[in-house]
Chains A and B, each alone.
Chain A
Amino acid sequence: MTAPVKNGSTGDGEGELPVLTKKDFTSDQEVRWCPGCGDYAILAQMQKMLPELRIPRENIVFVSGIGCSSRFPYYLETYGFHSIHGRAPTLATGLKITRPELSVFVITGDGDGLSIGGNHLLHAMRRNLDITIVLFNNRIYGLTKGQFSPTSEMGKVTKSSPYGTTEAPLNPARIAIAAGATFVARSVDRDTKHLEETLYRAAKHKGTSFVEVYQNCNIFNDGAFAAFAEKDVRADRMLYLEDGKPMRFGKHQEHGIRLEGFTPEVVHNAPDDEGLLIHDAGNPNTALANMLIHMDYPDYPVPVGIIRQVESPRFEELVQHQVEDAKARSEPDFESLLRGPETWEVPAR
């Protein structure tokens, strides 16, 4: 994953770039998340991953909304825009359309991205701009100190739901698939290696990448994902998806997933791959992706990795093509435009 990539942007011209390190992407700002927050792990993996992209720092822009996760840009030595609640995808959209050569990342959370900014998230994904959206899902409102979020499980007791919530949660990856995102992945803050790899692949994808990161809020929702994401249980309770490979999990990859009718079924101690589902992230049909994101612990292992990745035209490229086509077809002639369809001359008297 460290193959040299040509610099195709406005940086220092042609040729391979000097190798940057994690330190080069660390800003001088003091990180102010609560000690033990999952955000630290995501930041660290991002800072480790960015040099691998071999893009000059000045061509990278992080845009965020509001919430704990949205402080993220301050801690990266790139261009950064900490915008307003829920609207980061809109800024990223305008920036990417007008500056297609920039690498644009959107950092959001379950409240920012799915509640107040749900509409923008949908439309960014359906347009398929070449941007990377990372949604930190901690299933709670942290910055406002502990209200339920749109991904909180039904019945959850929080400060704003002392009797338990009475609403069903949203599944972020399902929203992404429904909106037509061309890259949908999931990872976990605790699994740093998998997270770094997932972020890298998301950044490399041409089109809108959506990455949901299960992120632990150790103050207001501690252990939300512990049942399947902790190191000692992970292998048995998470399904690491790999494109083109049979779906297997377990410490020794001894278990598998097969299809029974339209329903996935766990096969314990499957002796061989016969009958096991083969992951097919590039299938244009979203049936498999929808089935995967429906699988949840404890009935199933929780699927992580790239759920879907397909090719589709990028919005900003289509717009740019229209500009170039229009210019080729008719020279811009402002004088003629000013004259409009009809003119008349008033002579000097």
Chain B
Amino acid sequence: MSALAPARPDARALRWLPRLNKRFLIDYMAWVLLLALALIGVATNGSLFASGSNLNNIVEQSVIIGLLAIGQFVVILTGGIDLSVGSAMALTAMVVGVSMPLGTPGAVLMAVLTGTLVGLASGLTVVYGGLPPFIVTFAMMAVARGLALTITSGKSVQVLDNSLLGLGFGWQKVAVWALAIAVVWFILTRTRTGVRVYAVGGNVEAARVSGISTPRVIVLVYVISGLCAATAGILSFARNGGVAVPTSGQGYEMETIAAVVLGGVNLLGGEGRFVGAIAGTVFVVMLRNILDLSNADAFWSFCVIGVVLWGAVMLRGALERMR
């Protein structure tokens, strides 16, 4: 097939255009959809939607999903998936809650430790078990949820007066998200690890023959995802006013996958732009916001997220197959 590829230079020049368009469409899919959604928001709810406080709301509500989406994004870059982000978040929130007596730094440390362990467990099982990531992390989803429920026998934890509360609101919360974005962006674009993450997802064989330790890279991305979940757990604990709920975060894995796929990431790994994932996050959150404003049955938004996930994957697939 490739032997018959057109050799005329002008033919190649012409082939450039659709290619550029296809890339462009995939990279900016989330932004276009976000714009369209914002217009729909204005059209249906007018000033209610476009008010400063509502837009502020959307940004604030994006933080938790956004943090989890960062981890999801990095994992998917290697061609994996992390279905445990929501329950890992719930688990860390519970850990923070029960370890508050150790003091704030101790509690945060425990959260970081929890996130790291969850990520390590998933990553090591994927690499050395040779199991499909969705099975490993689906089981991890149950394990983390089970542990979250076990810690307090299913009850919530309340530590109403603590120094973490400030993190859960306003600019502090957004600042944590921004910091996480900056750190992961730095790793992906400014370190050799970042190049290797893309390389492992793009062509494992090429990465291996180049002397890259692919197991190390894969374990690392799951640990990054675990740490993002830990951060989200701390923030959700803070935002709830010092209450950790073991059943929180259900369905978040889906929202994060929808967000990053909308952002243009390839589920097979190797390509995806970080900013796209952020736009995808805001899209998902804004969609929920509009449904809320429209007084839609809160339960409908469940369904809508599932449909958005399907739509995003099929849309991206269709763009990819475009000639």
Q: Do A and B come from one complex?
A: no
| A→B interface (CB under 8 Å) | none
